Amino acid sequence: MDRLEKVAYTLLGFVCAVYLIVMLAGLIAAFPWGIIGLIAIAGIGLLMIKVIRERVANTEDNYYSKNVDQ
């Protein structure tokens, strides 16, 4: 991964974090109906954590990504 790609991922991560914080603040401000959005965000977040955890733990994928040319 080159330097330009790292900068791009950093900027995208920053924008994503700010957007998520603003969205959560808006959902809290609209409390009675905003709880539905908070539950949806929590569900998506849990699924993302599950996918990342499975990807990190999968030794077969790690082997093929390091040793097999495409």
Angle in degrees, 0-180, between the axes of helices 31-57 and 3-29, rounded to the nearest 10: 150
Where in the sequence is the domain holding 32, given as residue range(s)?
3-59
67 inside domain: no
65 inside domain: no
16 inside domain: yes
66 inside domain: no
Please determine, for residue 70, whether its predicted confidence score (pLDDT) is greater than 70: no
13 inside domain: yes
Contact 55, 61 (CB under 8 A): yes
18 inside domain: yes
Domain count, the chain: 1
27 inside domain: yes
Please determine, for residue 62, whether its predicted confidence score (pLDDT) is greater than 80: no
pLDDT tens digits for range 10-61? 999 999 999 999 998 998 888 888 889 889 989 999 999 999 998 888 888 7
Query: What type of residue sits at position 26?
Result: G
Whose tokens are 């965000």? That residue is: 41
69 inside domain: no
